[in-house]
Structure 1
Amino acid sequence: MANGIFREACDIFFRHYHNKPYTLFNPALFRHKAAHGQIPRYLQFALIATAVRFSSQAQWKQRKQKTIDGYAQCSWEMIMSSPDGLGDSSDVSVIQALALLAVIDASAGRRRAAWVKIGMAVRISQDLQMMLEPDSLSVAEAEERRGIFWTLFLLDRFVCCSFRRPPAIKVSDCQLKLPVDRELHESESALTLGELLDENVRGRPNRVVGVSGFSVGFAALLGRTIDCMMNREARAVEPWQGNSDYSLIHTSLESLKQMADAHPSAIEGEQLHTYRTSHLVLSLTLYHLTHCILSHPYLLGVKRQAHQSAPTAWIEAQIASCWSHAQELTTLVVDAKAAGYMLAPSFYSYCILVAGTVHALLLHGEDKPASERASKYLKTSFDYLSEVSEVWHNSYIMSDALRFFTNRCVRYSSILLGPASLFETLTQTDTLVLRSVLDYWAMMHPRNPISELSSLNIDCFADNSGKEGQGQNSLSPDEATESPEPLPSKNGIENENPTVDPGVLVDFPLSISSPVEEGAGDSEFTKWDWDNELHPV
């Protein structure tokens, strides 16, 4: 790779993004292709756009998002205009590029663009039969495709944490075996997703699953929970009955968690910079998030209305469980960050938001010690969202939504934690707010329903930065989601914005890690010491 910026982008990408937890490349295979000029330009641009986000250089302080969007837009235009981009080739480069671009769009609030790109990537992967075991491929190519498909599965489940957003990948269609962490013996066999979720199969001797397979398993259970609690009409079987969907999901969660706890990779003291940690953290986060959604006071209240005979003791037990998991989720994510591990997916901000809504509801409960604990967890949630906003600008949206929700929780707590009859007093505005804070799709966009209602907000958690809900060194929500300036026309007329000029980008003029001129940047800009993350050797 003769090109300096692409080399630097690759180094940043593989240090800070690859396998944390998205696995889109086999590093050795990728570098071999790059050395022989076999990486399509649209994939190079998508990778550079992703890497820029994780650069610690102060030169990107004011133009990072524009640069990301500029490279991403050029990548997308090349995919759509190139005969190789959407051709019938068996090359997976376009899937890799689309997955990277979808994450960029989602984090910038371009929901439909992200939805389309993930959908295209999934359909192309299905066209290439990537949901089945590969044959006639080298080991490196087969494992790369395995990682790509399960990354698409994770992305598909994440963006579908919403009301009325069905996933594109069905569990029943996934016959591809889950990744493993070691060489298999002759008598051993890797599990498929269906087998992992089948309690009668996964516990059999010599059936093996890697730590990343648990991430996929918990993501699948999260999808089932979203369907059960947010997208399905009331069923005849009451949730507290042993044969209900609710009870079956709860049992599957605990059974899979028990299996994950016994996994040999889940050992204390393991190096945090390994990919295993990224999936251990993700698996536990998804486990707690799924419990929070499964037993969220608002969603339980909806079920309670459909089943007026809901036992009060059962409801109280589920709410207590929900708050316990909310505390565990917040502690896990914050401790992982404090230990120096960068939580790459922006999806973690949504996880913190959901847990934060539970803390906010308990803030005004009658139990004073619990209320004090809830206040501390809530503050921790706001602090986390503020700190990661340097990388994921949609954290602003989550923070503002949680702030608005918190300011209305004097009302919500009395209704959702009180007698079932009070649930009927919720207004249409109340319902809109309660649904929105649990809807990842809604929370992707800066102009979501809660932002439209924000004029009603009285800030109970003002910070000292001069901007409500924003960190001192961060961009505003509008700046964070700002679209790039128009690209130059095909007639060669140049654009004044040098970061998005395709004619300039072709020669990679921007140095991601070049030194900043003296006095050009703010030495206190970086919250994360990217280049020394976990002090890799």
Structure 2
Amino acid sequence: MDDNATRGSCLDAAMTVRLAKGPEQPDINSEREDSVAFAGLLPLPIILETLDIYFTWCHNQPYSFFHEESFRTKLSQGKIPDHLLFAILASAVRFSKNPFFDDIFETALFYSNKSWQSIVSSCFSANKVADLMTVQTVTLLAILDYTAGRGRHGSAWVKIGLAVRIAQDLRLMLESATHLPYSEQEERRRTFWSVYLLDRLAFLSRSFDTAWEHSKRMANLFREVRQAGAIAQASFYGYCTVVAGTIAALYLDDPSEAKRMEAATYFQMHLNYLDDIGCYWKNVSSMSDALRKFSEDASRFSSLSSDSRLLEPLGLEDCETLWTMVDYSSMSDGSRVVQSQASDSDLWMYTNANWQDIFGVIDAPSSTTQPGYNSTLRAANYAQPADAFFTDQFE
């Protein structure tokens, strides 16, 4: 008996039924689950050969989902769900030279669709708890959709987002499964980083704004909102503005004078907005102070906004400073004390207050003021500096 037969001796013998050419005709008398069942679609030698192809041509290229020995053991024990087997075959069949497959691309699409039908019917529709193999299947299907051409990119993005959320729900990003065998722990790690890599790759596009453009657009957006008389006073907007303001601060020491002037204009717009809503939310007031302090020594981080491909690594305390500027919890938690940059030990962003002190009590608006609007900061505070700058530079 050859190796393939030995490895697969415990598989269902019904798999020896040959896959008919073209899409399978469903049995109208069968249940839905039967229409997406794996057993009966392929001869056993073809299955094992295609699995070998997967681990030769697809595994670790660069996505790594499985510990091969453990996978083959689970397969022989019937513990690999149909949806994952379909996804693996769909991934590997394009590399097969076996004449059994007439059209490898149509066959890949056929198995991919079968996999999705299977996971929807057996997991999502049945409200079953998702597991690691659910993430592996959905991610494999996302890769197949994304590489199938623009017509399937929309489906790929949905599946990538689904895989990311399930991975987060399973806490794959944490070292929290120390009770599991090492091979299973490593499989969890590699699956998470494969999902992360795919998510970053799929959304890497020149059509997205740079961080600098996004910072400017946010300042202009809040200016336009206030000019229109709308209310935008949520504390979360303060957090968004701090992040955008931090980006603007990185350009305050740009080699280009025009860029420095533009950065200063938008930085002030961000500060104005923070000061405005800071009278309603004390945590936003702290954010404003933090942003001002950051700007005083922003030159230390100017390399982050440079065009150089080689960036000098930041020290631990500098990294902590940057993390603080994007960590909403740090900026909103009154029990935390955040230290300044490595050059000094002054406390530049802290509160020694309880929850009510942090968030304060919203002052009742006066009868002459629109609710939610701070009369001390008019739309002109947002409109004039930027308009004046653009007039000087581009007219």
Normalising by structure 1, we get a TM-score of 0.34
Q: Which has the higher contact order (CA 8 A, sep 6+)?
A: 1
TM-score, with structure 2 as normaliser: 0.45
